[in-house]
Amino acid sequence: MEERHRKILQRHRSELVTSLDPSNLYDGLLEKGVFTQDMIDEIQSSGTRRNQARELLRDLESRGSRAFPLFLQCLQETGQHGLAQLLQDGAPTAPLQPAPPRQPPVVRPIVQPLPISSPMDVDKQRKDDVPVRPIQRHSPTHSPSPEQEHIRRQGRTRRDSIQCYKMDASTCGHCLIINNVEFEPGSGLSDRKGSNIDCEKLERRFKMLNFIVAVKTNLKQKHIKRELSVLSKVDHSQYDCCVVVMLSHGAEVSHNRFPGAVYGVDGHHVPVQHITNYLNGQHCPSLQGKPKLFFIQACGGGEKDTGFEVSPDEHEPSITGGEDDQTDAIPMSSSSDSLSNMSDETDARATLPTPSDILVSYSTSPGYVSWRDTLAGSWYVEILDRVLQENAAADDLGSMLMIVNNEVSQNSAKGLYKQMPGSFNFLRKLLYFQTREKIAQ
């Protein structure tokens, strides 16, 4: 929102809180794209009419340059002419340009999980089973751009046809880690022993990658939403990236963007697609065009994957987990073919909208459990942390996540069960993290 409009709202906040009727505005603000349904639900949950008015005005200030004139339109359309005139007298607004017409939905194929490999026994402490193969660099036929020269000076390999995100701010951005360990007795969910190890690893890792890291522990559903809302209202203009890490129990839920859900300690979940909505380009304008990264250590459902046989030529060393391995799934049910007792719907939709500049990395495939060692932490986080440590100075994020996928797929829980991470990657460019080596140059 423009500063002059923000000052008008602040100058007349008392009159607006006293007289504004938010309930009549919600449909118009939703239809015009000022707020999402999740945001409106959160405003409505704030209680009295005055509290809803305060929350609405507070959120309105973060909704971009079109928010103020669209808000005036809604006031006029709902008969609140006195308030509309009060705000218009503060500073005449420029004529509002009509929003571009909505495009018909594009039918896209359902994203299928990657295949997994078979178990083989080997010492779990082996760290160098997967060689990192450099990407072959093709000599350009034209003079390199300054960006290409910058990458070349760092000694990084890259595809010349793909640009890189700007990742050179003095502080790269914010990283929010939500670590749910101790669940309320009424939630029906067990405590997540070993999650603090995951949290400490990722807090240390993202600090080394030059992020401002905030850790929130044992949050209920409403508090998860609140922390994401607070993060979405931060001015990210001076930063290049934003990261959210979710460490909790998870489940399979119906979706039309990103599958899965993450549980609060009260036993109520937040769908992953709602988590990403807080930071997408429409709802967090200062992150438009910048990468938003989500790392989800949680089950995608209740099914356990036993893998499949492969030929001897395809064998790779396998790490076998111990008796301390646990899952981050919701409690199992013996009365149904589904291992989830929450009667969740299946992950099946005909379309997959593509929010730009968002990557969601899952510890496991949709519908399947995610394994966690109570003493060493989760397979996914342990390997993700190590791959970032060893490869972030040279490899882009997409390449590193493929290494993570491959290494996790070699593990076996109790000598039997497998796990296959994966990601929904809607980044438009290559992403190279800042590292100590880069900052020192």
Catalytic residue among 174, 236, 249, 274: 249
How many angstroms separate the CA atoms of 189 and 246, rounded? 16
Strand segments (E) across 363-406: 371-373, 377-378
Calculate the alpha carbon distances from 48 to 21, 29, 349 in Å.
11, 19, 37
Sign of the torsion formed by the C-alpha atoms of 279, 282, 283 and 289: positive
Calculate the alpha carbon distances from 352 to 108, 112, 340 in Å.
6, 12, 24
Q: Which residue has the tokens 């009549």?
A: 24
Calculate the alpha carbon distances from 411 to 133, 303, 361 in Å.
21, 17, 18
52: number of Cβ within 10 Å: 22
How many angstroms separate the CA atoms of 271 and 261, rounded? 4
Residue 299 is among the residues annotated as catalytic for this protein: yes
How many angstroms separate the CA atoms of 105 and 320, rounded? 45
83: number of Cβ within 10 Å: 20
The DSSP element (H or E) to which 362 belongs, if any, is strand 358-362
Residue type, 331: P
User: What are the structure tokens assigned to 2, written together?
Assistant: 């423009």
Long-range contacts at 185-191 (CB < 8 A, ≥ 24 apart): 186/266, 186/267, 187/263, 187/265, 187/266, 187/267, 188/267, 188/330, 188/331, 189/249, 189/263, 189/265, 189/267, 189/330, 189/331, 190/326, 190/331
Calculate the alpha carbon distances from 164 to 292, 330, 441 in Å.
14, 39, 18
DSSP tag of 329: B
Alpha helices in 36-180 (DSSP H): 37-44, 49-60, 67-77, 81-90, 146-153
Residue 199 is among the residues annotated as catalytic for this protein: no
Sign of the torsion formed by the C-alpha atoms of 33, 36, 39 and 41: positive
Give me the active site residues, please: 249, 299
